[in-house]
Structure 1
Amino acid sequence: MERRAMIAGLMGLGALPLAACGGRRVEPETATQGTLRSPRLHPPKFGDHDPVDFPQPHPNRFAVHGIDLARFQSNVDWPRARAGGVNFAFVKATEGGDLLDPNFKAHWRGAMGAGVPVGAYHFYYFCTPPEVQAQWFIRNVPKRRGMLPPVLDMEWNPYSPTCKLRPPAAEVRRQMRKWIAIVGAHYGQVPIVYTTPGFYADNELSKVRSVEYWLRSTATHPREKFPGQHWHFWQYSGTGIVPGIAEPTDLNVFHGSSQAWAAWLEARRV
């Protein structure tokens, strides 16, 4: 995400609702009628400034597409984006213990106003305690009925001018669990974990169980970069072209059919 410029005790549970996981191909589907809890799906009309010839299953074989965005995207025409295939959106809210993304409120309100299922993410900062970061996220992200689960964005940030700290893997996982527990308790849903191949490997994140993963893999299928790891969301491009958005935008798919998406929304919305 940034690389471009649980409830206490839930960690021990293994009963999160799961969509289809693994490497199974999912056939694309046409737009379907929706309800308030399960909005109509729109087929993607996305392009890419730097397209990749993905091996099968190609991202376009998945039924449910969406985006994530932050301060880099502005003046989003949300109704146009939704009609163009944005079936969900994750927007950056906070970073560390004192940074609020300047476009968060506009993205949040715009997505909700257009009927796009939307959630917020927090970019983790290793020089601030997890408790402080969790409370900063809670302070700035309103708890709204129907919002997607919160997201914890875990990746190294070599561009940070203020924090170069890279804790040992066990300490990274401890801090993750602390943030997840506090934030999950507040919103009533276990946060999703977003991560990159290098960070995942460095910190043995396969040991952090009972969470859903959102994986970045912009050159190949996640099974190549994260062998054996189940996932729910795949960020496959950082250079997408999306109707209603002037700037390059991250593109994502949900791992499952339209029916699996409806079931996931029913179970995982706040």
Structure 2
Amino acid sequence: MNCKEPIKHDYARGIDVSRWQGDIDWARVAAAGINHAIAKMTEGGTYTDPKFVDNFQGMRAAGLKGGVYHYFRALSSTPGQQLANIQARLAEVGFRVGEDILAIDVETQGNEGASADQMADALYELVTLIRESLLDGAYPFLYTSPSIWSNSVAWRKYDFSECPLWIAHWDAAQPKVPETWSSHGKRWQWWQHSSKGQVDGIQGAVDLNWVRR
């Protein structure tokens, strides 16, 4: 696996995957020292990643600590529609509340027409629905980059700080933690530090993450 060791390397190794990684040999991935993985599951109110079930079952069978992520859409589907999509897919794989990670991927691609207020409003509603309907009151992870969170989400409108942070900050010695979390003395839990990783068992590039133990 090609990746730079962080200065403080007391982190576990993780990856996140989707259909773009094709067929993955999860036994080889585990043997390469990866012990955490998050698979793309859903997007908006109707889409399911075609490799989701294979990836989630494969990572679990290989002994990796697993998780799923949902790609958030602010306008093309309602938070309620997105919740229904998430709920249906989680049921297919026996998602374990309190053990498996559920993350919401917050990006601007596909949300170009949404204002910062619309992003924050729909995201907060989705977070609340997921907490109350799926996670027994726990908060989903939020995946975002420092620039997208600061510039494209009206984050001051709500308290998102209870959501564990999965930060995307590539080629940095340490990631920048947005004020939402830093002002509450909170740190990242997952750090996606590269989009160009090479891991045995996966053909082509894959996102690499450091995971707090």
Identify whether the pair has TM-score above 0.5, normalized to the shorter chain.
yes
Q: In structure 1, what is the Cα distance between the partners aligned to 2:196 and 2:175?
A: 21
Q: Residue by residue, what CA displacement relative to the aligned partner does 1:187-223 show, whole Å, maximum 9, x if unpaired? A: 3332100001221111254742211100000021454
CA distance in 2, matches of 1:184, 1:221: 33
What amino acid maps onto 1:238 in structure 2?
S
Please state whether the residue corresponding to 1:155 is helix, strand or coil. coil
Deviation readout 1:114-165 (Å, 9 max, x if unpaired): 11111110001122111111111111122433742210000100xx4xx631
> Contact between 2:169 and 2:175, CA under 8 Å: does it hold in 1?
no
Provide, for residues 35-94 of structure 1, a one-character-per-residue CA deviation record: whole Å limited to 9, x for no partner: xxxxxxxxxxx215xx7xxxxx82772330110000101221111101212111110000
Q: Which residue of 165, 170, 187 corresponds with 1:230?
A: 187
Q: How many residues align?
A: 199
| Backbone CA RMSD of aligned residues | 2.2
Q: How far apart, CA to CA, are the structure 1 residues paired with 2:15 and 2:123?
A: 24
CA contact (8 A) 2:197 2:208 kept: yes
Residues 149, 190 of structure 1: 8 Å contact kept: no
Aligned to 2:23: 75
Unmatched 5+ stretches in structure 2 = none
Indicate the SS of the match to 2:50: coil
Structure 1 alignment gaps of length 5 or more: 1-45, 52-56, 256-260, 262-270
* Correspondence 1:149 to 2:101: yes
Taking structure 1 as the reference length, the TM-score comes to: 0.67
2-side partners of 1:181 and 1:91: how far apart? Answer: 22
Q: In 2, are the aligned partners of 1:217 and 1:225 still within 8 Å (CA)?
A: no
User: 2:2 corresponds to which letter in structure 1?
Assistant: G
- Give the whole-Å Cα distance in 2 for the aligned partners of 1:74 and 1:107: 10
Distance, in Å, in 1 between the alignment partners of 2:51 and 2:13 is 22
TM-score, normalised to structure 2, is 0.84
Measure, in 2, the Cα distance between the counterparts of 1:178 and 1:90.
23
> Which range moved further: 141-150 or 85-94?
141-150
Q: Which has the higher contact order (CA 8 A, sep 6+)?
A: 1
Q: Distance in 1 between matches of 2:189 and 2:135?
A: 19
Residue 70 of structure 2 corresponds to 122
Structure number, greater radius of gyration: 1
More strand by share: 2
Q: Kindly indicate whether the alpha-carbon contact (under 8 Å) linking 2:146 and 2:176 is maintained by their aligned counterparts in 1.
A: no
